Structure 1
Amino acid sequence: MIAATRVDESSPHYRGWRVVLACFLMAFFMFGFGLYGQGVYLAELQRAHGWPGSIVSAASTFSFLLTSVLVIFTDDLLDRIGLRALILCGLVALGASTALLALMQTPWQLYLAYALMSVGWTGMGTVVIATVLNSWFERRRGLALSLAFNGATCGGIILVPLLLSLTGSIGFRSAMLAATLAMMVLVLPVVMMFIGWPAGTAQAPGHRRSGEGVPTPAHSRKALLANAAFWTMVLPIAIALLAQMGFIIHQVSFLDPLIGRSAAGLAVTIMAAMAVVGRLSLGLFVDRLDPRLACAASMTSQAAALFVLLQSTNPTMLLACCAVYGFSIGNMITFPPLIIQREIGADAFATAMGLGTSISGVVSAFGPGIVGLARSFTGDYTSAFAMCVALDLVAAGIVLWRPGRRAKLAAS
C-alpha cells in the first residue's frame, strides 16, 4: 500500500502536490525542448548552417526511435541508480543537448545532441513522471497526472514562442543558452527539494531484489507481452496516437488553402489551449470514471471532430472542430497509467509504462509519414484523414474490450 492511502490527498499541504509541481516543470521543459521545439531547430539550423532539412529531420527521427528503445529500461534504471539520480541525469543530458544545439558546427554534433535528448526523455519523460505520481497518489491520481502533464502542453504554448521571440532579438545561440540556463535554475532546486518516493518506499514500487542483491523487475516484460489486458491498452493508444500525430503535423497544410495561414495558426493555438482545458477537466472527474470508457469516448470525439472537419469549409466550423479535437489530445498520455494501475497493478507499473510507451512511440512515429503518403497517392487530405477517423474508431473498440480482471503475471 502506498503512503498516499494514509493521508488526505486533497490537502494542499500534502507533499505529493509539490511532487506534481516538480513533474510539471520537468514536462514543461522536456516537451518544450524535446518535442515542440524541434520545429524551431529545423528552421534555425538550416538558416545558420545551410544544412538540408532532411539531415535535421532524420536526426529527429533517430532521437524518437532511440527514446522508444531507452524507455523500456526505465524500471531497471530506477532500481540501479534511484529516482532522483535518474531525473538529474535526464536534466543534465537535456541541458547538454540544448547547449550543443546552440553551439554546434558540424552535422555529427546534431546527432550527438539528439542522442543526449533521448537520454533526457528517459530521465524526465512520461514514464518517470507517471511512475513517481502513481506512488504518491491513489484517490487523486488522475488529477495529479493531468496537472503534471499539462506542463507538456504549456511547454509548447509558452516555451516555443519565447524561443522564437528571443531568437529574433538576441539570436538563436544566445536564446538557446539563456533558455537552458533558465531550465537549470528552475528545475534543479525543485527536483532536489521535492522529488522522492513516499516515506517508507526505498526504491521504485513494484521492484524487488534477488537473493544476490541484484535489482530485478517484479514482473517480466515477456509476461506483459503475453498479457491481454496490456495489449488492449497499448494497441489502441498506439493507434490513436498514430492518427493524432498524423493530423497534428499536417493540420496547417490542410487548413492553409481553406482559411489562410494566419487562421490556420490560430487553429493550432486553439487546439493546444483546448488540450490544457481537456486535461484539467478530465483530471477533476477521471478518478471517478472508468478509464477505458473515458478513453474510448475521447477517441470517438476525435473521430467525430475529424469527420465534421472533412465535411465543412466554414472557418468557424473548422476552428470549432480543431477545438473539439484538441480537448482530447493531452488525455491520450493520461489514460495509460490509470488503466495500468487498475488492471495490471502497481507491482508491474514502471515495467508496463516503459514497455507501453516504447511501443506507442514507435507506432505513432509513423503517423505523419502515413498521412503524407496517403495524401500523395490521392492528391488531397480527404482519404488520409478519413483513415484517421477509421483508426480512432477501431482504437475505441479495442480499448473497450476487457479481457478479464487484473492479470496474474509471472515473476521474472
Structure 2
Amino acid sequence: MCRSLPQIDAISERMSTSKSMAATLSAASGRRDDAPSGGAALSAGTAISSHSMRPMSTIRPAFIISMGLLSPSTPPGDWTVSPIQRVLAHVRLAVRADDAHARCHAHRGKLAGRLFSVNVPVATGGRSQRLVRGWVVLTGVFGVMMITSGMVFYALGAFLDAFVDEQEFSTGLAGAGVTAFLVASGVCGYYTGAFVNRIDVRWVITCGVLISSVGMALLAQIRSGWQMFAVMAVFGVGFGMCGLVPTTTVVTRWFQRRRSVALSIASTGLSLGGILLLPQMTRRIEADTLVAWAPRFAAVYCVALLLSTWLFIRAWPHEVGLAPDGDPVSHDSRTGEAAAQLPGTPFESAVRSRFFIFTGIGFVLVMGSQIGAIQHIYKLTGDRLSLEAAATGAVSVLAGTSVVARICGGIAALKASLRWLTISLMVVQCIGLCVLAVADTDVTILVGVIVLGSAMGNLLMLHPLILADAFGVKDYPRIYGFGSLLMVIGGAGGPVLVGVLRDSFSYQSAFFAIAAIAAAGLVIYSFAGNPLRDHLAAPSPAPLPTSVAKPLTQLTAPAPAIARNGEADAPPEVLFEVVANGTPDDEPAARPRRAPEVWSVERT
C-alpha cells in the first residue's frame, strides 16, 4: 500500500538521522570516504536490483525506498550479521514487495526523488506491455466488426431470399425491406455519434446489440409487408448503434501514429465475417428455414458481441493510464481532464468546411458505384460464365483480395499522403469497373475482380481515417456519423441503379455507367484539397510585458502613497485618521464607514 504524507515525512526524518549509520556501513564494506554517496551513486545511474542486476532505468522505486528504511534504532556494534548481508536482506524484501508496490509507482518515484534529490525513473511497465493493451482493444473491435458484418450486413441477401421463398414476398418488396434497414442504420449511426462522446462506448454498443438481437429474432415472426418494414427498421437501428461509428471511434482514440494500420486490421473483420460466418448461416437456412433459425442466430449474435465488447474494449486509453499508441500519461490525464480537452475541430465548423463537403460528395458517388458492383458481381459472373460455382468463386476472390489489400493499404498510409493514396485507389476502382464491363472470360473476370477488390478493401477504411486526420478526435463520432449517413444514401442507390440499367440495357452499360459515376466522384474529391487542421495549430504565446529603460539620472523618487488591497465592512472602533501622501485627512468623520482589510505602502 502507498504511504500517506505523514508517513513520508517520518521516513524523511529517519533518513536524515541515519547518516552516521550509512558511514559505518561504508567503512564496514570497504568503501573509501571519498567514494560517491548513495545520492551521488544514484545520480550516476548505478544501483543494485536483486539477483537479476537490472539497469537503473528499470529499477522500481520500491527498492530505492527500502534502502532508506534501514532501521537506525540498532547501534552498529550490536549487529550480529555483516552490513553487506543486512543490506542484501533489505534488497530481497524490496524485491518481494515489488509487485505489490507497482500500483503506486508514480507516488513512490516522487518520494525517492525527495529523499535523494534526484530524478528517479518511474517504471510503468515496458513499452511492449503498454502496446499490448491497445492491441487487446483492437482485438475486441475486430470481433465486433466481424460478427456484425458476417451475421447482419452480408446476411441481408440471405434474409431477402428467405423472405421470397418462405413468405412469398416479391423481390421488389423484399429489396425495399433491405433499403429500410440501410436507411434506419444510417440515421441511427448519425445520432449515435452524439452519444458516444457522452456515454461509455461499451454501453452504446450494448444497447445496439440488444436492439438488433430483438430485431433478428423477430425475423421469424414476419408474415406481412408492414411487419417486415417494422422489424427491419428496428434491426437497422440496433445495427447502427453497434456498427462502424462506435467501433472506428474506439480505434481513433487508442491509436494516433499507427491509426491507419489499426483501422486496416479492424476493418479486415468486415471481410472475414462474410467469408467465415455467412456460409454457416446460409447453409442452415437452406437446410431448414429462417423461421426456425432466426432466434438461434440472435442468441449467438448477442452473446458473442457482448463478450467481445466487455472483455476487450475500453472507451478511452487514459482509463487504464495510457495515451494513444501506448504512451504514458500524467496523473491529470487519468482523471479525465485530457478527455475534456481533446484536440479537434467542432462539429459545426467541420461539416461546413470545403474539405468535408467535397470529400462527402466524392465518397457518396464512389461508394455508391462500388456497392452497386458488389451486389451484382455474383449475378454478372453467373450470367456470363453460366456457372454458379464460378460466381461463388468470384465473390470469394473479391473478399479475399479486399483483406490483403486493406492490410497493405494501412501500411502504405503510414508513409504516403492520404489524399493521393485515396485518389490512386479511386482510379483503380474505375479501372476495375471498366474491366468487368467488358469481361466475358474467366480470366478477364478474375482480373477485374482482383482490381476492384484492391480498391474496395481500402476506400471503406480510408474514409474514417481521412476524417480523423482532418478534424481530430474531439467530435469525430458525430462527424463520421454524418459522413456515414451520406454514404448510406449513396450505397442504397447504387444497386438499384445497376439493376435498372441491366434490365433496360445490359450489364456492360450498367458497369460503364457506375464507372463514370466513380470518375465523377474522383474529380469532386480532388477539389477538396488538403485539410486545414486548425485543431493542430498551437496558440500564439501572449506578448511579454515591456518596459522602457531610463538612465538613473532621469529617475525621480516617487512620493509614498497608500494602496488598498481589498475592502470590507469595519466596525467603528477601527476607523482612524489616515495620512495620505503625507497630508492629514481633515474630515475623517465624513468618510464612509468602510475600512480596508490590508493597507500597504507602495511606490508608484
TM-score, normalization: structure 1? 0.87
* Greater alpha carbon shift after TM alignment, 177-186 vs 277-286: 177-186
Seen in structure 2, the aligned counterparts of structure 1 residues 282 and 10 have a Cα distance that, compared at 3 Å, is farther
| Residue aligning to 2:377 | 251
Q: Is the 8 A contact 1:310 1:382 kept in 2?
A: yes
Distance apart, 1:252 and its partner CA:
2.8
* Greater alpha carbon shift after TM alignment, 101-110 vs 355-364: 101-110
Quick one: distance in 2 between partners of 1:226 and 1:178? 45
Q: Is the 8 A contact 1:87 1:123 kept in 2?
A: yes
Distance apart, 1:406 and its partner CA:
2.2
| Residue aligning to 2:235 | 117
Quick one: distance in 2 between partners of 1:106 and 1:285? 49
| Residue aligning to 1:198 | 317
| Residue aligning to 2:403 | 276
* Greater alpha carbon shift after TM alignment, 397-406 vs 137-146: 397-406
Quick one: distance in 2 between partners of 1:332 and 1:130? 14
Quick one: distance in 2 between partners of 1:14 and 1:303? 39
Amino acid at match of 1:140: R
Q: Provide Cα deviations, 1:56-83, integer angstroms capped at 9, x if missing partner.
A: 2212111211222222212321244331
| Residue aligning to 1:62 | 180
Distance apart, 1:306 and its partner CA:
1.9
Q: Provide Cα deviations, 1:376-402, integer angstroms capped at 9, x if missing partner.
A: 44x212222112222222323333335
Q: Is the 8 A contact 2:284 2:293 kept in 1?
A: yes
Q: Provide Cα deviations, 1:8-47, integer angstroms capped at 9, x if missing partner.
A: 9876852121221211221122222332111111121222
Quick one: distance in 2 between partners of 1:383 and 1:205? 54
| Residue aligning to 1:179 | 297
Seen in structure 2, the aligned counterparts of structure 1 residues 278 and 8 have a Cα distance that, compared at 3 Å, is farther
Higher relative contact order (CA 8 A, sep 6+): 1
Q: Provide Cα deviations, 1:174-223, integer angstroms capped at 9, x if missing partner.
A: 433333222233221221122221114788997789xxxxxxx97234x3
Quick one: distance in 1 between partners of 2:237 and 2:156? 16
Seen in structure 2, the aligned counterparts of structure 1 residues 317 and 207 have a Cα distance that, compared at 3 Å, is farther
Identity of aligned residues (%): 25
Q: Provide Cα deviations, 1:266-311, integer angstroms capped at 9, x if missing partner.
A: 1111111111111122223322221121111111111112222333
Of residues 92, 101, 110 in structure 1, which corresponds to 2:210? 92
| Residue aligning to 1:163 | 281
Quick one: distance in 1 between partners of 2:258 and 2:438? 40
Quick one: distance in 2 between partners of 1:155 and 1:224? 33
Correspondences of 1:5-404 after superposition (within 5 Å): 14-196=132-314, 197-199=316-318, 200=333, 219-221=346-348, 223-262=349-388, 263-377=390-504, 379-404=505-530
Q: Is the 8 A contact 1:20 1:144 kept in 2?
A: yes
Question: When you count helix as a share of all residues, which structure comes out higher?
Answer: 1
Helix, strand or coil at the partner of 1:67: helix
Amino acid at match of 1:130: T
TM-score, normalization: structure 2? 0.61
Seen in structure 2, the aligned counterparts of structure 1 residues 39 and 205 have a Cα distance that, compared at 3 Å, is farther
Helix, strand or coil at the partner of 2:256: coil
Seen in structure 2, the aligned counterparts of structure 1 residues 338 and 202 have a Cα distance that, compared at 3 Å, is farther
Distance apart, 1:367 and its partner CA:
0.8
Q: Is the 8 A contact 1:9 1:16 kept in 2?
A: no
Distance apart, 1:407 and its partner CA:
4.8
Distance apart, 1:85 and its partner CA:
0.9
Q: Is the 8 A contact 2:401 2:457 kept in 1?
A: no
Quick one: distance in 2 between partners of 1:407 and 1:22? 30
Seen in structure 2, the aligned counterparts of structure 1 residues 132 and 202 have a Cα distance that, compared at 3 Å, is farther
Q: Is the 8 A contact 1:340 1:349 kept in 2?
A: yes
Q: Is the 8 A contact 1:296 1:395 kept in 2?
A: no
Between structure 1 and structure 2, the one with the greater Rg is 2
Amino acid at match of 2:234: L
Q: Provide Cα deviations, 1:231-284, integer angstroms capped at 9, x if missing partner.
A: 232222111111111211222333323212321221111111111111122223
Distance apart, 1:230 and its partner CA:
0.9
Seen in structure 2, the aligned counterparts of structure 1 residues 140 and 40 have a Cα distance that, compared at 3 Å, is same
Quick one: distance in 2 between partners of 1:48 and 1:136? 45
Q: Is the 8 A contact 1:67 1:119 kept in 2?
A: yes
Quick one: distance in 1 between partners of 2:386 and 2:417? 41
Q: Is the 8 A contact 2:366 2:521 kept in 1?
A: yes
| Residue aligning to 2:576 | none
